[in-house]
């Protein structure tokens, strides 16, 4: 069964990728989507068997690497954490495949698109089923490759190519740290398999390692390097800049990246290595601080974005911060719980946004929307459910998981000190801002007077994503009816399924992730030290802590309603009255400009200098015809020594041996 779960998407990729022209776009859609649905169904079966039954299972696939002490098999580690991730990845991916049949129905390169989607899914499955760090790194780089291919799918657009390169390069920065962490684990443990690492992690608590001229606690250094990889893959503060630009890809890609695959890889990795991180409290403190900072930072930027997909993208960045805070305070179950529920409502929001964009003929600027609830009521209902889940309305999925993270942050103040207090305050503030920008998106899109019929054509002006002429879509030519229209059933069915998940996933699984069934459900998949009592402490926080995210959510909703329904002129006046703050947030705290100044421009200057001065002036320009011409002349003369006669080569070897013997005798005196 596990072989089928992992390899069915790979088979779909190979069929669509190699034989797409032969079977056609429709055949590629049917094959890849059908195989993903089978894989998703088997994943739910696996969850019932593993989570509520057999525990950890190791499935051998093949021998892989054997080099000295390094012994690596290709094997699946199947436990509850694996099964949860299999459900998340395959369920969301299968629905994204189905949704893409409707969303991409006019793109002439659909076979390639569906092949890439299946490749993305396979790479993520390789990551979450990894039995060792080398196999995990294979999947880790695989999702990086697939994200590059999908973000830049519309390669005719320079902005799409730039966004794909940005995602790839920024992730290489994080992956450098991840690789160093893997190397250090091999140095310390002499192995990279989890079964060999986890039982011995406690023995390394006092071990030191010299790095960059300083003596570090070995486990602290290891976890910090590994977390550097997680910061890149899960778009945490400082390595977050690639995530919003990833919106240049088709909307189904955004849903897959942001809900189930690439950005959750870092969260999964830290949870998987909980037996190591648990013995590195300093590293966990760094995880808490970075996570809380990310949650706050991304929420502030989301307040002022006008592109419907970018608002949701910054929401993803913020929610990932919540997950890392939970992991950092030692509540690994709460972190994975929020990953689990977030997959449903964030995929719902992205696919709902895609339905809006489809209805608006590829318009993405919310300033050119409004009043759409009457035209696309089913999409509006789905977006309402997703918004309620994201903002933590009682009863919906986000209410159970996000509130659990906030309560865990407060419960850890006793031993986490200033970092936990910092995290608690920022998470509550971020919850209020999340509510504000989420309802702002809803009100600007679905309520109020229509703004798409006042001097704007169907494609609008000023939006920065997928005008049909740029992205290959030419379905809505001029002269057609541009009234917004509801999406086809292939797009609405995934919205309905995800809506159900956004409603029930929290309540149905809360006991398993953070309640009385935790020990029985997780068994040994997540490790918590004997002094880690966060699971008990989070249920005993004061009532005002429990109510704080709800109050923040209500305040955010009330402000959004007042500013975008009751008094829609206020936002413009506020922006005009505070231009510096508005531009600071609109330009994402100027991180792109800062990195451009610190890294991009110097790199370009160095490359241009080596090109003009090194290559052009020295290599091509020095002397009569340049250094390269002289090298060619010398090479031509040397080549003449190669006669092809065996006795010439034997004579040269004898001369060499004689010279070596003479030198040896003289040197020995």
Whether residue 428 contacts residue 548, with contact meaning beta carbons closer than 8 Å, is answered with yes
- The answer on pLDDT for 117 being more than 70 is yes
Q: What's residue 467's pLDDT?
A: 36
Q: What's residue 454's pLDDT?
A: 52
Which residues make Cβ contacts (< 8 Å) with residue 33, sequence separation at least 6? 94, 97, 98, 101, 114
Whether residue 226 contacts residue 273, with contact meaning beta carbons closer than 8 Å, is answered with yes
Mean pLDDT value across residues 446-460: 64
Is-above-0.95 flag for pTM? Answer: no
Q: What's residue 621's pLDDT?
A: 67
**Structure confidence at residue 468 as a pLDDT band (50, 70, 90):** very low
Please give the C-alpha separations between residue 417 and each of 282, 334, 412, 504, in angstroms, as whole numbers.
12, 20, 8, 35
Q: Which of 395-404, 434-443, 454-463, 486-495 has the lowest mean pLDDT?
A: 454-463
Question: pLDDT, tens digit, for every residue of 217-274?
Answer: 999 999 999 999 999 999 999 999 998 888 888 989 988 888 878 899 999 999 999 9
- The answer on pLDDT for 480 being more than 60 is no
Q: What's residue 53's pLDDT?
A: 63
Whether residue 382 contacts residue 496, with contact meaning beta carbons closer than 8 Å, is answered with yes
- The answer on pLDDT for 139 being more than 90 is yes
Q: Is 249 strand, coil or helix?
A: coil
Mean of pLDDT over the chain: 88
Mean pLDDT value across residues 642-665: 87
Q: What's residue 66's pLDDT?
A: 87
- The answer on pLDDT for 457 being more than 70 is no
More confident residue, 523 or 222: 222
Q: What's residue 469's pLDDT?
A: 33
- The answer on pLDDT for 461 being more than 60 is no
Q: What's residue 476's pLDDT?
A: 37
Report d(CA 150, CA 253) in Å as an integer. 7
**Structure confidence at residue 1 as a pLDDT band (50, 70, 90):** confident
Which residues make Cβ contacts (< 8 Å) with residue 558, sequence separation at least 6? none
**Structure confidence at residue 622 as a pLDDT band (50, 70, 90):** low
**Structure confidence at residue 123 as a pLDDT band (50, 70, 90):** very high
Please give the C-alpha separations between residue 272 and each of 17, 228, 257, 335, 379, in angstroms, as whole numbers.
32, 15, 20, 12, 36
Whether residue 20 contacts residue 107, with contact meaning beta carbons closer than 8 Å, is answered with no
Q: What's residue 161's pLDDT?
A: 93
Return the ∠ at Cα 29 (arms to 23 and 31), rounded to 5°: 70
Whether residue 254 contacts residue 284, with contact meaning beta carbons closer than 8 Å, is answered with no
H-type alpha helices, 472-615: 489-514, 518-522, 534-537, 543-561, 570-577, 579-586, 591-595, 601-609
Question: pLDDT, tens digit, for every residue of 321-359?
Answer: 999 999 999 999 999 999 999 999 999 999 999 999 998
Report d(CA 320, CA 322) in Å as an integer. 5
Give the rounded percent of residues in the chain with a pLDDT score beyond 70: 93
- The answer on pLDDT for 465 being more than 90 is no
**Token couple for 401:** 């998981």
Q: What's residue 555's pLDDT?
A: 96
């Amino acid at each position: 069964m596990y072989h089928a779960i992992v390899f069915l998407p790979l088979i779909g990729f190979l069929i669509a990728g190699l034989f797409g022209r032969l079977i056609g776009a429709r055949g590629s859609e049917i094959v890849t989507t059908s195989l993903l649905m089978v894989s998703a169904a088997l994943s739910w079966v696996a969850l019932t068997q593993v989570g509520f039954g057999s525990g950890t299972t190791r499935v051998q696939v093949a021998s892989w690497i054997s080099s000295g002490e390094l012994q690596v098999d290709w094997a699946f580690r199947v436990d509850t954490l694996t099964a949860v991730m299999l459900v998340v990845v395959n369920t969301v991916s299968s629905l994204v495949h189905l949704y893409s049949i409707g969303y991409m129905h006019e793109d002439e390169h659909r076979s390639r698109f569906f092949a890439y989607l299946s490749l993305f899914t396979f790479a993520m499955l390789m990551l979450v089923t990894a039995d060792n760090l080398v196999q995990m790194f294979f999947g880790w780089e695989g999702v990086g490759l697939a994200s590059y291919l999908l973000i830049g799918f519309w390669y005719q657009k320079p902005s799409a190519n730039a966004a794909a390169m940005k995602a790839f390069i920024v992730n290489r920065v994080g992956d450098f740290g991840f690789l160093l962490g893997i190397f250090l684990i091999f140095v310390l443990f002499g192995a990279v398999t989890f079964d060999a690492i986890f039982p011995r992690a406690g023995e390394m608590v006092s071990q030191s390692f010299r790095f960059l001229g300083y003596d570090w606690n070995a486990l602290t250094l290891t976890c910090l390097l590994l977390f550097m990889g997680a910061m890149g893959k899960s778009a945490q503060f400082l390595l977050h800049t690639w995530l919003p630009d990833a919106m240049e890809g088709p909307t189904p890609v955004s849903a897959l990246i942001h809900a189930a695959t690439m950005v959750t890889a870092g969260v999964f990795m830290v949870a998987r290595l909980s037996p190591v991180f648990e013995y590195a409290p300093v590293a966990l403190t760094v995880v808490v601080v970075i996570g809380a900072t990310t949650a706050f930072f991304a929420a502030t930027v989301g307040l002022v974005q006008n592109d419907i997909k970018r608002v949701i993208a910054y929401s993803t960045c913020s929610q990932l911060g919540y997950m890392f805070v939970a992991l950092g305070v030692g509540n690994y179950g709460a972190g994975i719980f929020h990953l689990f529920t977030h997959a449903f409502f964030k995929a719902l929001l992205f696919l709902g946004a895609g339905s809006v964009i489809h209805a608006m003929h590829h318009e993405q600027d919310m300033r050119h929307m409004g009043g759409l609830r009457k035209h696309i009521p089913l999409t509006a209902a789905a977006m309402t459910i997703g918004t309620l889940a994201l903002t933590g309305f009682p009863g919906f999925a986000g209410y159970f998981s996000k509130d659990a993270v906030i309560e865990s942050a407060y419960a850890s103040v006793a031993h986490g000190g200033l970092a936990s207090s910092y995290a608690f305050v920022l998470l509550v503030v971020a919850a209020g801002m999340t509510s504000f920008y989420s309802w702002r998106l809803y009100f600007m899109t679905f309520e109020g007077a229509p703004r798409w019929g006042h001097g704007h054509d169907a494609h609008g002006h000023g939006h920065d994503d997928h005008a049909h002429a740029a992205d290959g879509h030419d379905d809505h030519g001029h002269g057609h009816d541009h009234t917004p229209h509801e999406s086809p059933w292939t797009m609405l069915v995934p919205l309905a399924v995800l809506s159900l998940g956004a409603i029930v996933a929290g309540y149905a699984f809360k006991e398993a992730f953070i309640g009385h069934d935790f020990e029985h459900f997780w068994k040994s998949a997540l490790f918590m030290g004997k002094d880690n009592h966060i699971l008990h402490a989070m249920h005993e926080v004061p009532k005002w802590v429990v109510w704080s995210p709800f109050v923040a959510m209500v305040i955010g909703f009330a402000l959004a309603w007042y500013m975008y329904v009751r008094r829609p002129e206020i936002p413009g006046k506020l922006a005009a009255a505070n231009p510096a703050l508005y531009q600071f947030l609109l330009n994402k705290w100027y991180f792109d400009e800062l990195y451009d100044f610190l890294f991009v421009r110097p790199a370009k200057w160095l490359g241009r200098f080596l090109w003009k001065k090194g290559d052009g002036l020295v290599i091509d320009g020095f002397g009569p015809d340049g250094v390269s011409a002289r090298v060619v002349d010398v090479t031509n003369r040397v080549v003449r020594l190669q006669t092809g006669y065996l006795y010439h080569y034997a004579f040269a070897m004898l001369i060499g041996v004689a010279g070596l013997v003479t030198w040896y005798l003289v040197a020995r005196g």
